[in-house]
């Protein structure tokens, strides 16, 4: 569901839609969208009921494929089950969205298993299908996955190329939270190859978005990266200042600052004092 619901509200919505024999009026797409809600409420019986209903009322091969895909995820099926479904989905007329989703999921499994070549090839196939259907949101997810795989393969140049394309797409979609994250991802890649000036610019742009969104996590990621760059240059004072700004934001919003942030500020203070002492001796 796109809108966050409290457990009480979620339970009411499910009772309204599935109670009193009204399940028969629910089609396959709606039944599948209700499953995550039932899972959040840890109602395994309702999950099974929705899965069975989604499969029973499916009116096309594609809908039956989506129902089967969701069922495989619920039972934590084997990799072979997913690859078999992907092969079968390729033959479904108009089933590119389903096929792309399954390939994307398979790529995630390969990535988790450390099978990076298979993950990359499968993710690329998923992205190609999403480009055909012009599923721009799906393309964004696919590019993020490819970028992650490329970084795991130490192929930073490909990661930067894919990440830049993803950022352009997110700008076109006016997705500010996505832009915030994409800019930080690109900044990390640029820093990895020694392009510290480009990385600093990207982190600052990510920080601007994070401030607009009042995202504490986004601000911390950007400021942490800026502190890394400052520390590489042994500018411990600048690193301390940028992280102190992040700490102040947590305090201002009455939120608990992460322990690693406080620890790093403590470590930087010690480094700064050590550096000051060495300079005084000179």
Encode pLDDT of 223-242 as tens digits.
Answer: 999 999 999 999 999 999 99
In the structure, how many helices (H) and strands (E) does the chain have?
Answer: 14, 0
Quote the CA–CA distance of 133 and 131 in Å, as a whole number: 5
Work out the pLDDT band at 3, boundaries 50, 70, 90: very low
Cα 201 from Cα 186, distance rounded (Å): 10
Going by pLDDT thresholds of 50, 70 and 90, the confidence category of residue 1 is very low
Q: Which ranges of 28-77 would DSSP assign to H, the alpha helix?
A: 28-40, 44-57, 61-74
Cβ atoms of 61 and 71 closer than 8 Å: no
* Mean residue pLDDT across the chain: 91
What global pTM score does this model have?
Answer: 0.85
How would residue 220 be classed by pLDDT, with cut points 50, 70 and 90?
very high
State how far the Cα of 261 lies from the Cα of 248, in Å rounded to an integer.
11
Instruction: Find tokens 């979609």 and name the residue.
Output: 173
DSSP 92: S
What is the predicted pLDDT for the residue at 2?
38
Alpha carbons 68 and 73: distance in angstroms, whole number: 9
């Amino acid at each position: 569901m796109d809108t966050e619901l409290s457990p009480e509200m979620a339970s009411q919505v499910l009772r309204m839609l599935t109670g009193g024999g009204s399940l028969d009026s629910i089609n396959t797409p709606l039944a599948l969208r209700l499953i995550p809600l039932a899972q959040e409420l840890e109602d395994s019986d309702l999950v099974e009921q929705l899965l069975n209903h989604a499969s029973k009322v499916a009116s096309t091969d594609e809908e039956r494929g989506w129902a089967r895909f969701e069922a495989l995820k619920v039972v934590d099926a084997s990799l072979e089950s997913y690859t078999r479904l992907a092969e079968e989905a390729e033959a479904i007329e108009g089933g590119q969205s389903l096929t792309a989703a399954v390939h994307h999921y398979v790529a995630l499994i390969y990535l988790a298993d450390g099978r990076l070549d298979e993950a990359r090839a499968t993710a690329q196939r998923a992205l190609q299908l999403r480009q055909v259907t012009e599923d721009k949101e799906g393309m964004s997810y696919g590019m993020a996955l490819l970028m992650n795989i490329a970084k795991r393969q130490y192929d930073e140049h490909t990661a930067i190329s894919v990440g830049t394309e993803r950022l352009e797409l997110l700008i076109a979609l006016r997705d500010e939270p996505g832009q915030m994250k994409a800019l930080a991802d690109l900044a990390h890649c640029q820093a990895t190859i020694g392009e510290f000036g480009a990385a600093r610019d990207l982190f600052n742009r990510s920080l601007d978005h994070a401030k607009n969104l009042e995202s504490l996590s986004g601000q911390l990621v950007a400021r942490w990266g800026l502190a890394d760059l400052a520390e590489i240059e042994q500018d411990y004072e600048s690193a301390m200042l940028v992280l102190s700004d992040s700490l102040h934001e947590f305090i201002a919003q009455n939120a608990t600052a992460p322990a690693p942030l406080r620890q790093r500020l403590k470590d930087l203070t010690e480094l700064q004092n050590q550096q000051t002492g060495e300079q005084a001796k000179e």
